Amino acid sequence: MTHQENSAPQPEPHQPADSQGVRLIMTAVIQLQDLDKASHALEEAGLAFTHLSSTGGFLGRRNATLLIGLRPGQEEQAVTILRKTCRRRVEYISMPLEGSPYQMPLSTPVNVGGATIFVLPVERYEEIQ
C-alpha cells in the first residue's frame, strides 16, 4: 500500500450542490417581443437568469434564450412565469408556389412560441469570488 492510499480521504474537488444550491438549469427559447415581460417577472420572483441573443434555426429570426439556474422547488414557478409572459404568434414565410406559372411566392403561416423549454440537471454549481 502506498503512502497516498493510507492517508485521510481527500476533499472532493468541488462541493456538491447543497440543499439550497442550483440543481437544475432551464433553457428557454422565447420570442424577442416577450423578453422584457419575462425578464421582469423572473426578477420579481427572485429567479436568477442570463439572457443570450439567439437565432431560430428554421425561420432564421432573432429570438432570445434564457438560462435560468433553479434551486429546489423553483422549476414550476419558472414554467408558470414563462407561460404567463410568453405567447404564441403567427409568423409568415414565403414559399415558391409549386407548378404555378407566376413568380408570386405563397405566404405560409408558422406558429411560433410561447417558449421552448429544456430542463437539465446541474452536476456542479460554483460561484468563484
Q: Give yes or no for residue 119 binding ligand 2BA (CB under 6 A).
A: no
Binding mask 22-51 for ligand 2BA (x = CB under 6 A): -------x----------------------
Strands 89-96 and 105-112: antiparallel
Q: Tell which residue, 69, 81, 52, has the closest CA to residue 121.
A: 69
Give per-residue burial for 45-72: e unless 16+ CB within 10 Å, then b.
eebebeeeeeebeeeeeebbbbebbbbe
The mark string for 63-102 relative to ligand 2BA (x by CB under 6 A, - otherwise) is x---------------------------------------
CB of 102 to ligand 2BA, least distance (A): 24
